[in-house]
Amino acid sequence: MADQPFLTDIKTIRERARRHIEQGAVTEGYTADRENVIRLLNEALATEIVCTLRYKRHYYMAEGLSASVAQAEFLEHAQQEQQHADWLAERIVQLGGEPNFSPEGLMTRAHAEYTEGDSLRDMIKEDLVAERIAVDSYREIATYLGDKDPTSRRLMEDILAQEEEHADDMAGLLDGLDAQGR
Ligand SMILES: [Fe+2]
Ligand SMILES: [Fe+2]
């Protein structure tokens, strides 16, 4: 056993893999608190659903404000938030959990708000606020996951990177409005 190349020998790994075969992707080497990870991913999922709905609302309302640049951004973001929701749901299932798509309690689970906004400026501001909240809470989740669940952490980091882009896009739109004196 002295010249064992890995921390855990292959035989032990194989035995462990067989023992709880029904747990799918979750092996005994998974050291995270699975229930808690699933809960956090469900909160992120709720956040993404709320963000999708908010951007959709803003997309359709921007039509009447003849704001085509903002409108294109709203639509793109709505689609990306939807994609994030799908990635999260997929990971929750891999972990043996159930993705919570229930409208009931959605706002309580979500870390972002659904704010309609009256003017184009209000909409963009609300989106920027929501993105900044998502950035902070996703960063915290990624840090919490650390080395205990690298796959979920990577997923959260990928989403986080896009939320930072979203925030940057919204800040850019606000600057554009200022420049036009709108
Ligand atoms: Fe997102
Ligand atoms: Fe976003």
* Residues flanking ion ligand 2, Cβ below 5 Å: 131, 163, 166
The 3 state secondary structure assigned to the chain is: CCCCCCCCCHHHHHHHHHHCHHHCCCCCCCCCCHHHHHHHHHHHHHHHHHHHHHHHHHHHHHHHCCCHHHHHHHHHHHHHHHHHHHHHHHHHHHCCCCCCCCCCCHHHHCCCCCCCCCCHHHHHHHHHHHHHHHHHHHHHHHHHHCCCCHHHHHHHHHHHHHHHHHHHHHHHHHHHHHHHCC
- The pLDDT assigned to 11 comes to 72
pLDDT of residue 86: 98
Residue 1, pLDDT score: 43
Considering every ligand atom shown, identify the ligand nearest to the alpha carbon of residue 84 and give its number: 1
Which amino acid is it at 142? A
Q: How far is the CA of 18 from the centre of ligand 2 (A)?
A: 40
Say what the pLDDT of residue 23 is: 67
The identity of residue 35, as a single letter, is E
* Ligand 2 centroid, distance to 8 Cα (angstroms): 40
Cα distance between residue 62 and residue 35, in whole Å: 40
pLDDT-flagged residues of the chain (< 70)? 1-10, 13-14, 16-23
What separation in Å is there between the alpha carbon of 145 and the centre of ligand 1?
A: 18
Tokens read off for 182: 């709108």
| All domains of the chain in start order, with CATH | 34-180 (1.20.1260.10)
The pLDDT value recorded for residue 26 is 83
pLDDT score recorded for residue 90: 98
For residue 22, the model assigns a pLDDT of: 61
